[in-house]
Amino acid sequence: MNAPVKSSAFERDLSRKAISAEHPAVKFGRVGVLLVNLGTPDGHDKKNMRKYLKEFLSDRRVIETPRIIWWPLLNGIILNTRPKKSGALYASIWNNELDESPLRTFTRSQSDQLSKRLAAYDHLEIDWGMRYGNPSIESRLLALQEKGCERILIFPLYPQYAAATTATVNDKAFEALMKMRWQPASRTVPAYHDDPAYIEALAISIQRHLDGLDFEPEHLIASYHGIPQSYFDKGDPYYCHCQKTSRLLVERMGWEDGFLLTTFQSRFGPEEWLQPYTDKTVEKLAHEGIKRIAFFNPGFASDCLETLEEINGEVREEFTDNGGEQFSHIPCLNDSAEGMDLIETIVMRELQGWI
């Protein structure tokens, strides 16, 4: 029996060129990178907010409550009351110059800056999308494919893995791939909660901010987005990832035990969520006589409603209303030099063998 004949890279390239010659519109030979963040409404008016919230709160990864219970609550109560309230919150942080949320502004900038940093790789295409809202994951995967990307790296911008964040991005990407006749090869970026480059980026950002303060915080609080306790009980590693990020950062910075506090914010509904709760912790600290604190949000790649309005707005107010005096919020990594160093490091590592 004759051994199977293996085609060489040269022969495969000739084959692609033959297809391209027969179908001039077909492009090939490129590699794509898709940065994906949580999402954003297109506007803070009631119509746009309702559309965004419906997509977000209909995700079975986000809300695991049985449909027979959740659907009447969502469509009968939440979508008729929450859009107005959420819209007002978004309006308070809206980027009026570009008429968009800060999350969209930062994610686009991250994509643009990464493109400039990797410009030497002329066969590389960088793009960005949102799990909820626009631009959608599917639309950007199709755009990358149309540009000739035969291989695409999907990068969920969540340091700590959770089914409600990382997994739902991958789900949506795979759903889009399932519809394609000619699928590109794909990879997904894993959680990077304990990546040395991530810890270093946080350390640089935090130290620079603390050095610029006119007061010395008595506590630094790492506030992560929460998830229901039941999700953790079912095996979600998110809580463990958050705790490890905090521990590694303490080791890197050499802080004394108790200086950094890890808390969880943004709980929703009556169910028990991961604890300690951010708002309750701040209230307790103020009542205990703590006067100076600083916050950062290591679970967010970019500043958004939960960091700019909830932490730097609501939580700040709660601290001062209960006797606190000095409060500072450290920006997320966003499109800072250290933030972009981190994204570039991860992308280049995950593209090994492709470029």
Q: Which domains does the chain have, with CATH numbers?
A: 30-192+338-350 (3.40.50.1400), 196-329 (3.40.50.1400)
- 3-class state of residue 278 by DSSP: helix
Kindly tell me if the per-residue pLDDT of 208 is higher than 60.
yes
Per-residue model confidence (pLDDT) at position 12: 47
Whether the bond between 159 and the residue before it is cis, its omega within 30 degrees of 0, is no
Per-residue confidence band for 316, with pLDDT thresholds at 50, 70 and 90: very high
> CB count, 10 Å around CB of 163?
20
Q: What would the pLDDT profile of 261-310 be if each residue is shown by its tens digit?
A: 999 999 988 899 999 999 999 999 999 999 999 999 999 999 999 999 99
Kindly tell me if the per-residue pLDDT of 7 is higher than 70.
no
Which of 282, 272, 353, 274 lies closest to 318 in space, CA to CA?
282
Per-residue confidence band for 27, with pLDDT thresholds at 50, 70 and 90: confident
The pTM for the full model equals 0.91
Per-residue model confidence (pLDDT) at position 186: 98
Kindly tell me if the per-residue pLDDT of 20 is higher than 70.
no
Per-residue model confidence (pLDDT) at position 9: 46
CA distance readout (Å), 347 to 85, 125, 185, 298: 38, 12, 16, 19
In what helix (H) or strand (E) does residue 210 lie, and over which residues does it extend? helix 196-211
Non-local CB neighbours of 3 within 8 Å, separated by 6+ positions: none
Kindly tell me if the per-residue pLDDT of 24 is higher than 60.
no
Q: Are 228 and 275 in contact (CB under 8 A)?
A: no
Q: Are 192 and 158 in contact (CB under 8 A)?
A: no
In what helix (H) or strand (E) does residue 69 lie, and over which residues does it extend? helix 67-73
Q: Taking residues 206-226, report their average pLDDT.
A: 98
Per-residue model confidence (pLDDT) at position 153: 98
Per-residue confidence band for 28, with pLDDT thresholds at 50, 70 and 90: confident
User: Could you write out the DSSP letters of every residue in 141-203?
Assistant: HHHHHHTTEEEEEEEE--SS--IIIIIHHHHHHHHHHHT-SSPPEEEEPPP-TT-HHHHHHHH
Query: Hey, which residues does 311 pair with through a beta bridge?
Result: none
DSSP classification of residue 136: B
Rounded Cα–Cα distance for residues 68 and 277 (Å): 29
Kindly tell me if the per-residue pLDDT of 160 is higher than 70.
yes
Token pair of 15, please?
């084959």
Q: Are 298 and 284 in contact (CB under 8 A)?
A: no
Average pLDDT, the chain: 94
Which of 351, 353, 335, 354 lies closest to 114 in space, CA to CA?
335
Kindly tell me if the per-residue pLDDT of 130 is higher than 80.
yes
Report the percent of the chain where pLDDT is more than 70.
93
